[in-house]
Amino acid sequence: MVRAVRKYRPNRRGRIKLARWLRVALLRLMACAAAGFATVLVGVPSITEGENRALIVAIPLAWACLLWRGSLIKVVLGPGALVVFGMWSRALVPCVVVKRLGEDPDALRSLLVLETQQGEQVDFGWFAGSLWDFLYDFTGVCTDAMRFHIRTERHLPKGAPVRLERRYNWSLVADSFAIATVACLGAALYLAVR
């Protein structure tokens, strides 16, 4: 069973996703529960009207946004590059610019760090420590997969960037929760000063 789980195969786009799927499922369920709770709060007549209602509804919506963003964390092994998705941004790292992928000796706990030829760093601290690590060292499996990918994909695809690029990580669901939170806070502020 362990061998079957460790055999990562590319999807139709030639990409392999390394993610904590149990963590993803739990975080997304919790985000949906928080959004559902906010929806219920909107319809409860016993909550005070006006700014207090808007403020109370904004809190679970903010939690829903944060939880959903936490579920976006993953590493995608694509043609010629690693794409590291964090909560707020993603880093596109071409394999040709990777200098080292290993543990950071200066870290308080064991952290996997990728260093580029230009000296830029991407850490994978959020990727370590899970139930799967306890069962069969999932972090080690992911590290081996990334190292193998870097070794075998040292060519640059046509039109690919030649250095590490960081961009904002867009998410339709998380950004919708964030917009709803800001709208509720704006409504609460407007009703408070009116």
- For position 59, what pLDDT does the model report? 92
10-residue averages of pLDDT along the chain (194 residues): 56 75 89 93 69 84 94 89 90 90 66 85 72 64 85 77 88 94 88 78
Say what the pTM is.
Answer: 0.81
Q: What is the side-by-side order of every strand in the sheet holding 81-85?
A: 16-18, 74-78, 81-85, 89-94, 165-168
Nearest partner of 167 among 74, 81, 84, judged by Cα: 84
| Strands annotated E in 3-132 | 16-18, 74-78, 81-85, 89-94, 98-103, 112-116, 121-123
Q: Where are the domains of the chain?
A: 16-72+171-194, 75-165
- For position 160, what pLDDT does the model report? 72
With tokens 């030829």, the residue in question is 117
- For position 173, what pLDDT does the model report? 94
Q: Hey, what amino acid is at 139?
A: T
- For position 48, what pLDDT does the model report? 60
Q: What tokens appear for 180 in the block?
A: 């709803």
Phi, psi at residue 180, to the nearest 5°?
-65, -40
